[in-house]
C-alpha cells in the first residue's frame, strides 16, 4: 500500500469520540510537558552549568565564538548576547526563545572573513586526502589474545577512571584548579562512572557488533538516534540533523558551529582498541566516526587519539607514540600546527605547567571545549607524565580545560601500554567493575564484559 492509502484506510475507520468539557484538559496535558522541556533547553542554551563541575557555559555565546574561530564574522552577535543575558535575568522566556534563534540564524549567515588566518591552512575533508599527505606504517598484526584482552580491559578501566577524575574539575583553568585544590593527584570527591563522553564510544561498539567490517558512519549514527537521548554542542546539533534525515558527513558539517570542538577527539581511543597496531585502519575508522558530528580539525582530533591508542599495543615509550602520531597529522592543517606547538613546548620547558602556559596563552580565544587547547593539554600531560599513571593524570588536571575528556583518552593509552596492574588501587577500588551510562539498552555493564565485547569486535575486524 502507498502512504496515502494507509492514511485513507485509517481515517475511514475512525468515528468522532467527542466528550463534553474534555478538549481543554487534553490540550493542557499534551502541551504543558513539551513546553516546559523546550523552555528549559532554551534557558540552558543561554546559561547552564556543567553537571559534574558546575562550570558555567553558554551555548549561544559559544556558537558565535566557535564560528568566529573558523574565520567568519557574526554581524550584531555581541548585541544579541547582551540582550539575551538581560532577558535571562528578568525571566523573559519568550524573548529568550526569540534571541536564541536570532543567534543561530546570525551564526548560520555569518560572513566569511577572507583575512582570517583560518583560511591559510590546508583542509583535509576526506580520508583519501589525508592518506595522500602522510605515510602510515604497516599493520603490526596484533593477536586478539589474552594479552590483548588485559590491555583492552586496562584501557577501558583507565578511561573510566580518567573521566570520573576529571568530571568535577572540567571547565576551569589550571591556575584556578590549583588555587582551590592544589595538585589534583587523587579523586577530590567520591567518583562515579556516569559520564556523557563514553556514550558515543558505546554506540559505536554496538554498531560494530552488528556490522563488523561493513560498518559505516550511517550505521553508527543510527545507534546515536536510537540509543542517545541528548547531546551537547556539536553532538546536539548533529543529533538534530540526523533526526531530520541529514546523514554523515553532512550531519557534522551542516549548521554545526561546534564541529571543531572536542567531541570527536573525546571518543577516538576505542578505534585504536578495535584496530590494535593497525594505525591506518584506526585513523580511517576514526575519520569516519568523527564525520557524524565534526569536520576538518575536529575530525583530526579523533584521528590523533585513535592512532595513539592503536600504537599503544605495539610501543611502550609514550614519547615515541606522541612523536609518531604528530608526524601522521599534516603540518599544514591547523590541528597539525597546534599539536606541533605543544610538542615544541615539551622540548623547551622543564615542567608541565611551564610548557602549558604558552599553549594557554596562544589559544586563549578558543573555548575550553575546543579541540585545540585540549590537544595541547593531552600532549603535555602525556609527555611530562612519561608513562607514570599518577604524574600523567595530575598534569592533565593541572592544565585544566575539558579535563574529563582529556584524562579519559590519554589514560586509556597508558592503560593499554602498562596493563591493569600499573593502575594504583586507590584509583581502581572506588570504580569497581560496573559502568553506569544513559545509553538506552546499556544502562549498566561490567567493565570486564565491555573489554570482552571489544575483543570480539576486534576479532571480526581482522
pLDDT reported for residue 20 = 60
As a residue count, the chain comes to 462
* The three grid cell numbers given for residue 119, joined into one nine-digit string: 583560511
Architecture of domain 127-460: Orthogonal Bundle (1.10)
pLDDT reported for residue 21 = 57
pLDDT reported for residue 290 = 98
Q: What is the DSSP string of 52-74?
A: TT--EE-HHHHHHHHHHHTTEE-
CB atoms within 10 A of CB 356: 27
CB atoms within 10 A of CB 149: 16
The answer, yes or no, to whether residue 203 has pLDDT greater than 60, is yes
pLDDT reported for residue 361 = 98
Residue 271 confidence class, pLDDT cut points 50, 70, 90: very high
| pLDDT, mean of residues 179-196 | 93
Q: How far apart, in whole angstroms, are the C-alpha atoms of residue 439 and residue 228?
A: 6
pLDDT reported for residue 278 = 98
Task: Evaluate the omega torsion of the peptide bond into residue 396 and state whether it is cis, within 30 degrees of 0.
Answer: no
pLDDT tens by residue, 362-373: 999 999 999 999
The answer, yes or no, to whether residue 306 has pLDDT greater than 90, is yes
Q: Coil, helix or strand for 102?
A: helix
pLDDT reported for residue 17 = 75
Angle between helices 389-399 and 403-418 (to 10 degrees): 160
Q: How far apart, in whole angstroms, are the C-alpha atoms of residue 451 and residue 440?
A: 19
Residue with grid cell 582529556, as numbered in its chain: 406
* The three grid cell numbers given for residue 408, joined into one nine-digit string: 579519559
Beta-strand pair 72-73/111-112: antiparallel
* The three grid cell numbers given for residue 260, joined into one nine-digit string: 571543531
High-pLDDT (> 90) share of the chain, %: 93
Interior CA angle at 9 toward 5 and 12, to 5°? 135
The pTM of this model reads: 0.96
pLDDT reported for residue 26 = 56
The answer, yes or no, to whether residue 22 has pLDDT greater than 80, is no
pLDDT reported for residue 119 = 98
Sketch the domain layout of the chain as residue ranges. 33-118, 127-460
How high is the mean pLDDT of the chain? 96
Q: What is the b/e burial string over 194-220, where b = at least 16 CB atoms within 10 angstroms of the residue's CB?
A: ebbbbbbbbbbbbbbeeeeeebebebb
pLDDT tens by residue, 76-104: 999 999 999 999 999 999 999 999 999 99
Q: How far apart, in whole angstroms, are the C-alpha atoms of residue 268 and residue 259?
A: 15
Q: Which of 158, 226, 253, 236 is nearest to 196 (CA)?
A: 236
The answer, yes or no, to whether residue 29 has pLDDT greater than 80, is no
Give the N- to C-terminal CA distance of the chain in Å, as an integer: 43
Q: How far apart, in whole angstroms, are the C-alpha atoms of residue 413 and residue 182?
A: 25
Residues forming beta bridges with residue 172, ordered by sequence position: 401
pLDDT tens by residue, 420-462: 999 999 999 999 999 999 999 999 999 999 999 999 999 999 9
Q: How far apart, in whole angstroms, are the C-alpha atoms of residue 222 and residue 214?
A: 14
Residue with grid cell 575530525, as numbered in its chain: 299
Answer whether 343's CB lies under 8 Å from 358's CB: no
Q: What is the DSSP string of 215-242?
A: --HHHHHHHHHHH-----THHHHHHHHH
Angle between helices 447-460 and 199-211 (to 10 degrees): 40
Of 33 and 382, the one with more pLDDT:
382
Q: Coil, helix or strand for 445?
A: strand
* The three grid cell numbers given for residue 164, joined into one nine-digit string: 570520573
pLDDT tens by residue, 326-348: 999 999 999 999 999 999 999 99
Answer whether 257's CB lies under 8 Å from 58's CB: no
Answer whether 428's CB lies under 8 Å from 288's CB: no
Of 35 and 115, the one with more pLDDT:
115
Instruction: Classify residue 145 as exposed, middle or buried by CB count within 10 Å of its CB (0-12, 13-18, 19+).
Output: exposed
Answer whether 243's CB lies under 8 Å from 225's CB: yes
Amino acid at each position: 500500500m502507498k502512504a496515502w492509502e494507509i492514511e485513507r484506510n485509517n481515517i475511514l475507520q475512525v468515528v468522532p469520540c467527542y466528550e463534553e468539557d474534555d478538549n481543554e484538559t487534553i490540550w493542557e496535558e499534551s502541551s504543558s510537558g513539551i513546553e516546559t522541556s523546550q523552555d528549559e533547553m532554551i534557558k540552558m542554551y543561554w546559561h547552564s552549568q556543567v553537571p559534574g563541575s558546575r562550570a558555567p557555559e553558554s551555548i549561544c555565546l559559544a556558537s558565535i565564538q566557535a564560528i568566529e574561530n573558523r574565520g567568519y564574522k557574526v554581524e550584531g552577535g555581541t548585541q544579541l548576547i547582551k540582550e539575551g543575558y538581560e532577558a535571562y535575568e528578568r525571566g523573559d522566556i519568550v524573548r529568550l526563545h526569540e534571541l536564541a534563534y536570532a543567534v543561530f540564524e546570525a551564526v548560520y549567515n555569518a560572513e566569511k572573513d577572507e583575512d582570517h588566518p583560518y583560511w591559510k591552512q590546508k583542509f583535509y575533508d576526506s580520508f583519501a586526502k589525508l592518506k595522500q599527505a602522510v605515510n602510515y606504517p604497516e599493520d603490526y598484526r596484533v593477536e586478539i589474545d589474552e594479552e590483548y584482552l588485559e590491555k583492552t580491559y586496562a584501557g577501558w578501566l583507565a578511561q573510566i577512571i580518567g573521566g570520573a577524575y576529571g568530571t568535577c574539575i572540567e571547565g576551569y583553568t589550571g591556575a584556578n584548579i590549583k588555587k582551590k585544590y592544589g595538585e589534583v593527584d587523587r579523586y577530590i570527591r567520591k567518583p562515579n562512572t556516569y559520564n556523557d563522553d563514553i556514550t558515543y564510544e558505546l554506540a559505536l561498539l554496538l554498531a560494530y557488533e552488528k556490522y563488523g567490517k561493513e560498518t559505516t558512519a550511517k550505521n553508527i549514527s543510527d545507534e546515536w538516534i536510537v540509543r542517545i537521548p541528548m547531546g551537547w554542542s556539536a553532538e546536539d546539533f548533529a543529533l538534530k540533523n540526523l533526526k531530520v534525515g541529514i546523514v554523515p558527513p553532512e550531519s557534522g558539517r551542516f549548521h554545526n558551529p561546534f564541529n571543531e570542538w572536542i567531541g570527536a577527539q573525546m571518543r577516538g581511543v576505542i578505534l585504536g582498541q578495535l584496530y590494535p597496531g593497525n594505525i591506518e585502519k584506526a585513523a580511517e575508522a576514526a575519520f569516519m566516526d568523527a564525520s557524524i558530528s565534526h569536520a576538518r580539525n575536529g575530525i583530526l582530533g579523533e584521528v590523533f587519539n585513535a592512532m595513539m591508542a592503536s600504537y599503544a599495543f605495539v610501543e611502550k615509550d609514550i614519547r615515541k607514540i606522541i612523536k609518531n602520531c604528530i608526524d601522521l597529522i599534516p603540518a599544514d592543517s591547523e590541528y597539525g600546527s597546534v599539536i606541533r606547538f605543544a610538542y615544541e613546548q615539551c622540548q623547551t620547558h622543564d615542567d608541565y605547567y611551564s610548557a602549558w602556559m604558552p599553549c594557554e596563552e596562544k589559544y586563549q580565544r578558543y573555548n575550553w571545549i575546543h579541540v585545540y587547547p585540549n590537544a595541547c593539554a593531552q600532549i603535555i600531560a602525556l609527555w611530562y607524565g612519561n608513562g607514570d599513571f599518577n604524574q600523567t593524570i595530575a598534569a592533565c588536571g593541572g592544565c585544566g580545560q575539558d579535563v574529563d575528556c582529556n584524562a579519559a583518552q590519554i589514560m586509556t593509552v597508558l592503560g593499554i601500554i602498562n596493563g591493569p596492574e600499573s593502575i594504583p588501587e586507590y584509583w581502581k577500588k572506588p570504580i569497581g567493575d560496573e559502568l553506569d551510562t544513559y545509553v538506552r539498552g546499556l544502562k549498566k555493564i561490567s567493565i570486564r564484559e565491555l573489554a570482552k565485547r571489544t575483543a570480539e569486535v576486534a576479532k571480526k575486524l581482522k
